[in-house]
């Protein structure tokens, strides 16, 4: 099944018009929500950005594709000097793929900005294998949020984290200092032609500029959560040595899209610094996506289908709490006593 087509079928009808359980001390606010357009240079189309943030306004349930979130649309932002989390979705996705995780973080006092990656989303796959585009776009999003966005005055530029899933998991590792070597893809795909990344690059070859481009690193990223990262094997030990931010790394034990030990396990093996590594028994690749509220159309059932006996909603209560606690420990606790915080 093509992930691009699955996501397109699930999301084409989405109209942007289940709260997660968190530790009691984190329930500081409800979640507000808005969709903004980040301008780009040279007349390129603006980037779609979904933003979740703390608010005191009363939230209501809103549908978002085959899932939803409980938010107060367009409500005022509550708080000052707020930490920022930027989110990077997987191949063929969109900004709302982790809506429940974003909602949980907003309820805990974070502003979350999730972009729809240009050239790699459910509408447009023209640059799906140009992986260097992704960290560049994520870094640009950080700059826009801190310097030009309507929320800039509410944000603390010293407290920025990054969350990513699948291709987004790769993205946040690269943006935080990782140096992948995409020349390793050829040998990998000769050995594993059935893997999804190899099917993707066979269909959409890595462009020449994607092999020679400079990787954009952003030192403003102070903490990283990477779930089921794609192309983990391309980093190696040397390629991960530039990551100095704390890392929480997740692996789906029964990942059918990125199977085996070449992805999250390769990052775990080669990331020499201490990090928080979590393997989720019984989880499949898409279990990191928000649990579905409605059956997706067409061939997109894999996005919502978990293995028999795996409770995706229960897992997300644990997952969202762990992600929120990690970012709280790394971005809130160390600086809460500083002047202005």
257 falls within a domain: yes
CATH of the domain at 69: 3.40.50.1820
pLDDT per residue as tens digits for the range 83-128? 999 999 999 999 999 999 999 999 999 999 999 999 999 999 999 9
Compute the distance between CA of residue 109 and CA of residue 154 in angstroms, rounded to an integer. Answer: 11
Give me the domain span that covers residue 69.
3-335
Bridge-based pairing state of the strands 60-64 and 67-73: antiparallel
Q: How far apart are CA 335 and CA 341, in angstroms?
A: 7
Kindly state whether residue 325 falls inside one of the protein's structural domains: yes
Average pLDDT, the chain: 89
Helix extents (H) in the chain: 3-11, 99-107, 133-147, 167-175, 184-191, 196-203, 208-212, 236-240, 264-270, 312-327
Output the pLDDT for position 50: 98
Q: Work out the average pLDDT over 208-237.
A: 94
Q: What is the pLDDT of residues 330-341, one digit of tens each?
A: 999 876 544 444
Give residue-wise pLDDT tens across range 266-305.
999 999 899 999 999 999 999 999 999 876 666 677 889 8
Q: Is residue 341 part of a domain?
A: no
pLDDT greater than 50 at residue 13: no
What's the domain count of the chain? 1
pTM: 0.90
């Amino acid at each position: 099944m093509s992930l691009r087509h699955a996501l397109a079928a699930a999301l084409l009808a989405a109209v942007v018009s289940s709260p997660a359980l968190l530790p009691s001390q984190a329930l500081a606010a409800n979640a507000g929500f808005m969709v903004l357009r980040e301008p780009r240079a040279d007349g390129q189309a603006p980037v779609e950005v979904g933003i979740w943030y703390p608010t005191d306004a009363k939230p209501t349930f809103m549908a978002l594709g085959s899932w939803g979130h409980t938010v107060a649309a367009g409500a005022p932002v509550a708080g000052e000097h707020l930490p920022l989390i930027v989110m990077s979705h997987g191949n063929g996705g969109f900004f709302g793929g982790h809506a429940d995780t974003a909602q949980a973080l907003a309820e805990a006092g974070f502003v979350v900005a999730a972009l729809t990656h240009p050239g790699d989303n459910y509408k447009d796959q023209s640059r799906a294998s140009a992986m260097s585009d992704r960290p560049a776009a994520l870094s640009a999003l950080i700059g826009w949020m801190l310097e030009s966005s309507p929320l800039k005055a509410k944000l603390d530029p010293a407290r920025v984290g990054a969350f990513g899933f699948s291709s987004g998991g790769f993205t946040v590792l690269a943006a935080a200092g990782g140096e992948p070597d995409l020349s390793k893809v050829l040998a990998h795909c000769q050995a594993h032609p059935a893997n999804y990344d190899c099917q993707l690059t066979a269909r959409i070859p890595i462009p020449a500029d994607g092999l020679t481009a400079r990787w954009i690193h952003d030192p403003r990223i102070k903490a990283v959560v990477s779930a089921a990262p794609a192309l983990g094997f391309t980093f190696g030990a040397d390629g991960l040595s530039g990551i100095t931010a704390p890392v929480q790394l997740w692996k789906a034990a029964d990942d059918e899209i990125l199977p085996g030990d070449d992805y999250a396990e390769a990052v775990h093996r080669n990331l020499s610094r201490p990090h928080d590594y979590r393997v989720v028994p019984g989880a499949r690749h898409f279990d990191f996506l928000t649990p579905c509220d409605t059956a997706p159309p067409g061939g997109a059932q894999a996005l919502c289908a978990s293995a028999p006996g795996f409770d995706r909603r229960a897992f997300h209560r644990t997952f969202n709490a762990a992600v929120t606690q990690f970012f709280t420990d790394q971005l809130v606790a160390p600086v809460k006593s500083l002047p202005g915080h």
